[in-house]
Structure 1
Amino acid sequence: MIKRILFLLVFTLQFVSLQASIVVLNGLTHIYKVENGQIYKGKVTLQNTGNASQSVKIFLQDFSYQSDGTIYYTAPHTNEKSNTGWIKLNTNLINLKAKEKTDVYFEIAMPDKITLPGSYWSVIIVEPVDDIKPSNNSPGVNITSVVRYAIQVITNYDTENVKPSLKFESVKVEKEGNQRSIKIGVSNNGNVYCKPTANIEIYNRKTGDKVGTFSSFPMGLLPNTSKSFNIDISKILPDKYNAVIIATDEDENAFALNVELEVKND
C-alpha cells in the first residue's frame, strides 16, 4: 500500500513538472506617440518557462474596466476609441518548446486622417491553449483554454495639449483583518490615458492638526474608465477626521476633493 502511495506521489510530481508556463517578458502596456499616415512596429516577447511545449493563440480585443472590479473584453471595433483596425499581428498561433523564447511582431498603420486628438487603444490577448486534439464528438479539433494575458497597446495622437479629466466616484473606509484602508474610486472622463496617484491628507476634526499624508500606488487609467485606488490607513486611530483627497497624474495635473472621514473602532 505504501509503495502504491509513493508511486502515485512521484507520478503526480512528474506530471506537474511537465506543465508549460507562458510569461510575457516585455511588459503589459505598450504606449506609442503617433502621427497620421505613419507606420509603427512593436513586439511582444514570450517565453515558455515550463518543461513541456505549449501552443499559444494571439488575437486582438477591445478592453475597458470600472472601479468595482469589472473588466470588459469585447470584439474589435466595439469601443469607439478602438485602434484594432490599425494593428496587424504577424501570427495568430505559435508553439513554444520547453524554455523557448520568441517575439510576436505587430504593426500599427495609422490612418491618413484622425479628427479627434487623444488616446486610442486595444489589447493583444496571449492565450496558452492545450495541444490541438481530435474531437470524438464532432468533426475538426478542440482547443481548450488555460490562462491568458492582455497586453495594452495605446496610441496617443496629438495629445500634447490634451489633459485628463479625473473625477472622484466614491470614498470608502474598509477593514480586512488588522489592515484598514480607504478605497477611492477615480474615473477618467477625458480623452487621454494617464497614470495618476491618489493621496489623502488627514486632519483631526476637533483640533485641525494634520495627522498624516498617505498615498496609493500609481495606476494607468484609460479614457472613460475607472479604478479603485487603495490607500493603507492602518496607522490612523478611530476618530472623526477632515481629509483632502488629491489625484495627481505624471504631468502634475491635480484634482482635489474635501471629505469628512470617520474611522470606526470595529
Structure 2
Amino acid sequence: MMKRVLILISLILQFCFLHAGIVVLNGLTHSYKVENGKVYKGKISIENTGSNPQNVKIFLQDFTYNANGTTSYTNLHTNNRTNGDWIKLNTNLVTLKGKEKSEILYEITVPDKAVDPGSYWSVVIVEPVEDIKPSDKKAGVNITSVIRYAIQVITDYDSEKAKPDLKFEGVKVEKQDQNQLVKIAIANQGNLYCRPTASIEIYNRKTGEKIGNFSSLPMGLLPQTSKSFDIDISKVPPGPYKAVIITTDEDENAFALNVELEVKND
C-alpha cells in the first residue's frame, strides 16, 4: 500500500510540474518618476516553467481596488488617471518553449503638455492562452483554468507637488484561520501613490496599562483606492481595550485614530 501511495504522489508531482505555467520574474509593480515629453523603457521578464510550449497574450487594462476585497480590471480610459495611452508594448503575443525565458519590452512616452501632478497607472496583463480541447467523455469542451498576472506600471508626474491623503474608513476585529485580526480599512484620497504601514497600540480600558504594539505589512495604495490593513493581535487576551491606530507612509507622514476594541473568545 505504501508503495502505491508513493507512486501516486510521484505521478501527481510530475503532472503538476508538466502543467506548470508562466511566472513573472521581475516583480508585479514597476514605478517611474517621469517628466514631460520624455521616454522611459521597461521590461517584464517571464518564464515558462512547464515542459510544453505555451502561448502568452499581453495587453493593457485599467485597474482599481477597494478595502472590501473587490478588484476591478477594466478597459482603458475607465480610470481618469490612466497612463495606458502612454505605454506601447513591443508585442501582444509570445510563444515560449518549455523552460524558456523571454522579455516583454515596453516604452512609456509622457505627453509634452503638462498634466495634473500625481500618480498615473495601468496594468500589463500577462495571460497564458490555453487550448480548448473537445471532451471525449461528455458533450461540450473542457476549459483549463489559468493564472494571469497584472503588472502595475505606475508613473509619478511632478510628485513634489502631489501627496497622498490617507483616511481611516473602518476598524473591526475578526477571527480568521484561528487568528484574531484587526482589519483597518484605509483609503488614499490624495493624488500620489504611497506604501503605508498601519500599527496599533492597545491599552487596558480600565487600568490604562499598555498591552502591546502591533503592525501590519506595508502595502501599496493608489490614489482613490482603499485596502484592508490586517494586524494579528492573537496574543491579546479577550476583553475590552482602548487603542491608538497610526498609519505612516514612506515619507513619515502620520495619521492617527483613537478607537475602542472588544476582543472576543470566538
Same fold (TM over 0.5): yes
Residue pair 1:128, 1:146 contacting (<8 A) in 2 also = yes
Q: What is the DSSP-based 3-state SS (H/G/I as helix, E as strand, rest coil) of the residue aligned with 2:160?
A: coil
Tell me: CA distance 1:15–1:236, structure 2 relative to 1, closer, same or farther (3 Å): closer
Give the partner amino acid of 2:122: S
Q: Which residue of 1 aligns with 2:205?
A: 205
Q: Which residue of 2 aligns with 1:227?
A: 227
Deviation at 1:92, TM superposition (A): 0.2
Deviation readout 1:3-50 (Å, 9 max, x if unpaired): xxxx99998776544324110000000000000000000000000111
Deviation readout 1:147-184 (Å, 9 max, x if unpaired): 20000000000012422100111101011353111000
Q: What is the DSSP-based 3-state SS (H/G/I as helix, E as strand, rest coil) of the residue aligned with 2:195?
A: coil
Moved more, 159-168 or 41-50: 159-168
Deviation at 1:126, TM superposition (A): 0.2
Q: Distance in 2 between matches of 1:11 and 1:261?
A: 50
Q: What is the DSSP-based 3-state SS (H/G/I as helix, E as strand, rest coil) of the residue aligned with 2:159?
A: coil
Is 1:189 the counterpart of 2:165? The answer is no
Give the partner amino acid of 2:235: K
Residue pair 1:51, 1:98 contacting (<8 A) in 2 also = yes
Residue pair 1:20, 1:53 contacting (<8 A) in 2 also = no
Residue pair 1:246, 1:257 contacting (<8 A) in 2 also = yes
Residue pair 2:117, 2:161 contacting (<8 A) in 1 also = no
Q: Distance in 2 between matches of 1:72 and 1:186?
A: 18
Residue pair 2:199, 2:247 contacting (<8 A) in 1 also = yes
Residue pair 2:89, 2:107 contacting (<8 A) in 1 also = yes
Q: Distance in 2 between matches of 1:254 and 1:262?
A: 25
Q: Distance in 2 between matches of 1:30 and 1:76?
A: 18
Tell me: CA distance 1:145–1:108, structure 2 relative to 1, closer, same or farther (3 Å): farther
Q: CA RMSD in A?
A: 2.3
Q: Which residue of 1 aligns with 2:120?
A: 120
Q: Distance in 2 between matches of 1:260 and 1:9?
A: 50
Deviation readout 1:194-215 (Å, 9 max, x if unpaired): 0000000111111111111000
Q: Distance in 2 between matches of 1:242 and 1:23?
A: 45
Residue pair 2:53, 2:97 contacting (<8 A) in 1 also = yes
Deviation readout 1:67-117 (Å, 9 max, x if unpaired): 011000000111000000000000000001111011100000010113310
Q: Distance in 1 between matches of 2:255 and 2:71?
A: 25
Moved more, 120-129 or 107-116: 107-116
Q: Which residue of 2 aligns with 1:111?
A: 111
Deviation readout 1:41-71 (Å, 9 max, x if unpaired): 0000000111111000000000000001100
Q: Distance in 2 between matches of 1:93 and 1:260?
A: 53
Q: Distance in 2 between matches of 1:261 and 1:103?
A: 49
Kindly report which structure 2 residues correspond to 1:92-103, keeping only aligned pairs within 5 A, or say none.
92-103=92-103
Give the TM-score taking structure 2 as reference length: 0.89
Q: Which residue of 1 aligns with 2:51?
A: 51
Is 1:242 the counterpart of 2:205? The answer is no
Give the partner amino acid of 1:113: K
Tell me: CA distance 1:132–1:173, structure 2 relative to 1, closer, same or farther (3 Å): closer
Q: Which residue of 2 aligns with 1:33?
A: 33
Residue pair 2:30, 2:151 contacting (<8 A) in 1 also = yes
Question: Which ranges in structure 1 are unaligned for 5 or more consecutive residues?
Answer: 1-6, 135-142
Q: Which residue of 2 aligns with 1:169?
A: 169
Q: Distance in 2 between matches of 1:86 and 1:248?
A: 31
Question: Which ranges in structure 2 are unaligned for 5 or more consecutive residues?
Answer: 1-6, 135-142
Q: Distance in 1 between matches of 2:264 and 2:16?
A: 47
Q: Distance in 1 between matches of 2:202 and 2:220?
A: 25
| Percent of aligned positions that are identical | 68
